[in-house]
Structure 1
């Protein structure tokens, strides 16, 4: 399976298919390091995601709710939820994630199993536990099943798809037994996330060129002041900080590929001034682009499944 990088994993509204049309599930694995500002950018997808931390710790934000997660913790990301994560300073953040469509569990979408146990979750009428710390027996069993799926993807023996689906149904049974009616968002919370999605999409689509605050505000039909307040309330950072972080993440990937000069990489990621590119790159990567390219650290984070 091809390696991926962190910015690949977090395309905003991911247009890619997770898995295949006939087997709509993918497993992604990330091995983190300590040398850069590592984040999973705010993004969302219609599929449900189950994430297992394998090393280190991070803070994860799901639809405005923050969770401090650490090794062996399990996180369930609901369908359509805007989410992000950033590692704890000085700590690695390694994890694997399963991302899958409801059609994997029941392709017909018309029987009692789908109607009673699957549709309510993907339609956000029922809510699974969002952050699971594996203390009890059922939580430990859940962790064992998830690691089993990871092993099945790694080996891909004939018929592994049958066992993946079987394990996933066991996981679903354990989670469904502990589901609760989905709570209503706080006033304005859901609306804020709804309005910020097109802002993020605009930034990620246009990061290669110069973008002004006025341009973004006009594109999403907001005043500049309202846009700044809303963006910070949802993402916890300024619009400029987010754009810098995204550009530097993409530029790091391009430097790893070693196909372009540093000045070309700067221009490809929206930096028209090489000195400014060096300054911003150093701010987040703690080294210059040249040092990064020459360092032993210049390797993509490992992904599987896409």
Structure 2
């Protein structure tokens, strides 16, 4: 399995790739059919995010919660929440993703409008995600708003930027006024969210080293057993299962774009032996490193 390429900083923060020079917004499409990726790996960003599932069913993991979003529905992911996604069943799945900075709504953090209508959501540690059910009127308005944003960006008619801002305000208004929307009520604290980001940071920055559970647990200020339990609770994966998976993914480019031997590739991404690397690679990619090289070169 291969993750979708995302521009990330060392702490797995995504860099917003804006479509418009003066507006902090972005619109992506994640299409898992005939693509060279199978999932979107764990990451986070300051922007709020609205996703609309266009085909298939997508599984979103946000902090410690899992959401199965079917075609026609969507999900709101709050600012600074670590998350990932993957299709369920058929890989013929697709979803649209619209992100914008909360500063787009109101620049002045001290204004009464920001404090009344923006801060209650973006600073709510218990509102990491909101399911957007198309059978709920306000949710449907939000989902239609996402479609309108896509249309405005595609057509780029004169003064479309103003219409875009109007549409974003409408989306936010409906988000704010939707008390009956299914919210994540799990008591995920800011500290837990930051702790998970810390674990991902040390994995990303030190994956090529001889990382131990002691190293990782110390960075998160947890005991070794607590660290393992915490990571599994949040991600559904074992800590070293994810570390080996990450190392495998980092090795793919080296297999194709370097002259390193397979043994040297294994050592360079943190594996202690070629045989263990090959076993992990085959489990993750369903082929050997050599077969991957041959397949890519055809």
Q: Which residue of 2 aligns with 1:14?
A: 13
Q: Deviations over 1:229-281 (max 9, x none)?
A: 222122211111111222233334555xx422463654443335444333222
Q: Deviations over 1:20-79 (max 9, x none)?
A: 784111222221148988333333222211111222223222232221112222111112
Is 1:30 equivalent to 2:30 in the alignment? yes
Q: 1:33 to 1:253 in 2, by over 3 A?
A: farther
Q: Which residue of 2 aligns with 1:149?
A: 149
Q: Secondary structure at the match of 1:8?
A: coil
Q: Secondary structure at the match of 1:165?
A: helix
Give the TM-score normalised by the residue count of structure 2.
0.80
Q: Which residue of 2 aligns with 1:269?
A: 269
1:10–1:40 CA contact under 8 A, matched in 2: no
1 CA distance for matches of 2:38 and 2:127? Answer: 29
Q: Secondary structure at the match of 1:84?
A: strand
Q: Secondary structure at the match of 2:257?
A: coil
5+ residue gaps, structure 1, are 299-306
Is 1:289 equivalent to 2:296 in the alignment? no
1:45–1:79 CA contact under 8 A, matched in 2: yes
2:27–2:96 CA contact under 8 A, matched in 1: yes
1 CA distance for matches of 2:39 and 2:253? Answer: 14
Q: Which residue of 2 aligns with 1:303?
A: none
2 CA distance for matches of 1:7 and 1:151? Answer: 25
Q: Which residue of 2 aligns with 1:249?
A: 249
Q: 1:44 to 1:169 in 2, by over 3 A?
A: same
1 CA distance for matches of 2:248 and 2:195? Answer: 25
Is 1:83 equivalent to 2:111 in the alignment? no
After superposition, residues 50-89 of structure 1 pair within 5 angstroms as: 50-89=50-89
Root-mean-square deviation (CA), in Å? 3.5
After superposition, residues 58-207 of structure 1 pair within 5 angstroms as: 58-124=58-124, 127=127, 130-156=130-156, 159-179=159-179, 185-186=186-187, 191-207=191-207
2 CA distance for matches of 1:41 and 1:151? Answer: 28
Question: How far did residue 136 of structure 1 move?
Answer: 4.3
Q: 1:291 to 1:54 in 2, by over 3 A?
A: farther
2 CA distance for matches of 1:128 and 1:231? Answer: 17
Q: Secondary structure at the match of 1:270?
A: coil
1 CA distance for matches of 2:128 and 2:232? Answer: 28
Question: How far did residue 219 of structure 1 move?
Answer: 3.3
**Does 1 or 2 have the higher relative contact order (CA < 8 Å, sep 6+)?**
1
Is 1:217 equivalent to 2:224 in the alignment? no
